[in-house]
């Protein structure tokens, strides 16, 4: 936090700080060789994540007082000092400091904090968490529009929109929500992007559909056609197309690959999890573990 490694319980911020105006990133470091095992870590897609942190900061008027390389070194040091042995979540956060600059919206000083913690992966060979059933509903809440609160910048305030949709889904007995965008096309989940599979092709909405420019999505758009030979298409998806997909899955750093069992109680496809979703998740697990030579460039050793 602000250049020092400190224990979680001592990483304190005053209740007066407008932390909801802050921005953040969600990054993961996976264990090399076997992500269900123990060992040394590689950070996945550090560069696009840290570049997006800078874009988010620019959009929301925050300045990061360290260089990208300094944040990488700080992150590595934090992971080492923690002595983590299994997969780690890394969430750099930048917050404005109250009473600095011209206004809380144009602050002069900032907090930089890089919390890290362990998480349970859904990926990896034979992981039973991957095939757990997950029932979704299309939310009655629309995703925040790009000309209102841009979903492309990872600001905490965006997640109030996700909260509305998630609570609505829980109240109605579902596991999660899928947003439509302001035009009524399929958008994304509350914290992950969405893809469908129809007739052997993976389809995902464009960045203009009020989605976050997801690092996982970009990764998938690259390796699915190039490494797995499965065609991909980026285009708007209608609600009915989603219902009549052969497969559908969410993808993002946090939830990794989340197969969708049903949407609005309509079962998706004949098989759950679907064969293409499973193939993508299995290959992704190998990429994350550093077992795919041509994709090692996506990993930064700790």
Give the binding site for ligand PMP (CB under 6 A).
26, 188, 191-193, 212, 214-217, 252-254
Closer CB to ligand PMP, 71 or 107, in the complex? 71
In the bound complex, what is the minimum distance in angstroms from residue 252's beta carbon to ligand PMP?
3
Closer CB to ligand PMP, 21 or 194, in the complex? 194
Closer CB to ligand PMP, 107 or 154, in the complex? 154
In the bound complex, what is the minimum distance in angstroms from residue 298's beta carbon to ligand PMP?
12
In the bound complex, what is the minimum distance in angstroms from residue 6's beta carbon to ligand PMP?
25
In the bound complex, what is the minimum distance in angstroms from residue 217's beta carbon to ligand PMP?
6
Closer CB to ligand PMP, 107 or 252, in the complex? 252
DSSP structure string for the chain? -TT----GGG----TTS-GGG-EE--EEEEESS-TTS-S-EEEESHHHHHHHHHHHHHHTT---SS-HHHHHHHHHHHHHHHT--S-EEE--EEEE-TT-SSBTTB-S-EEEE--EEE---S-STT-GGGG---EEEE-SSPPPPTTTS-TTS-BTTHHHHHHHHHHHHHHTT-SEEEEE-TTSSEEEESSSEEEEEETTEEEE--TTTT----HHHHHHHHHHHHHH---EEE----HHHHHT-SEEEEEETTTEEEE--EETTEEPSSSSS-HHHHHHHHHHHHHHTT--GGGGGGEEE-
In the bound complex, what is the minimum distance in angstroms from residue 48's beta carbon to ligand PMP?
8
In the bound complex, what is the minimum distance in angstroms from residue 212's beta carbon to ligand PMP?
4
In the block, residue with structure tokens 């990483």: 11
In the bound complex, what is the minimum distance in angstroms from residue 25's beta carbon to ligand PMP?
8
How far apart are the C-alpha atoms of 114 and 57, rounded to whole Å? 15
Closer CB to ligand PMP, 253 or 262, in the complex? 253
Tell me if 87 sits within 8 A of 121, measured CB to CB. Answer: yes
Closer CB to ligand PMP, 180 or 215, in the complex? 215
Closer CB to ligand PMP, 131 or 152, in the complex? 152
- The CB density around residue 50, as the number of other CB atoms within 10 Å, is 20
């Amino acid at each position: 936090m602000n250049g020092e490694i400190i224990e979680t319980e001592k990483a304190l911020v005053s209740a007066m700080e407008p932390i909801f105006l802050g921005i953040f990133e969600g990054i993961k470091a996976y264990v090399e060789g076997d992500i269900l095992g123990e060992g040394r870590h590689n950070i996945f897609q550090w560069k696009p994540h840290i570049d997006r942190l800078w874009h988010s900061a620019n959009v929301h008027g925050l300045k990061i007082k360290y260089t990208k390389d300094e944040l990488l070194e700080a992150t590595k040091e934090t992971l080492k000092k923690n002595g983590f042995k299994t997969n780690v979540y890394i969430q750099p956060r930048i917050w404005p400091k109250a009473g600095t600059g011209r206004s809380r919206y144009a602050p002069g000083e900032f907090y930089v904090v890089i919390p890290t913690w362990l998480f349970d992966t859904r990926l990896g060979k034979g992981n039973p968490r991957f095939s757990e059933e997950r029932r979704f509903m299309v939310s009655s809440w629309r995703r925040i529009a790009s000309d209102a609160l841009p979903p492309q910048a990872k600001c905490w305030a965006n997640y109030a929109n996700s909260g509305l949709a998630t609570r609505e889904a829980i109240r109605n007995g579902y596991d999660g929500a899928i947003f439509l965008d302001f035009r009524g096309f399929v958008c994304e989940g509350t914290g992950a992007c969405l893809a469908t599979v129809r007739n052997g092709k993976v389809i995902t909405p464009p960045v203009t559909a009020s989605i976050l420019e997801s690092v996982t999505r970009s990764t998938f758009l690259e390796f699915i056609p190039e490494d797995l030979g499965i065609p991909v298409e980026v285009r708007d998806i209608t609600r009915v197309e989603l219902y009549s997909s052969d497969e559908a899955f969410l993808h993002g750093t946090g939830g990794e690959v989340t197969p969708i069992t049903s949407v609005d109680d309509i079962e998706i496809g004949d098989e759950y999890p679907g064969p293409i979703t499973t193939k993508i998740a299995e290959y992704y697990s190998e990429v994350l573990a550093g077992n795919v030579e041509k994709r090692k460039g996506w990993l930064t050793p700790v």
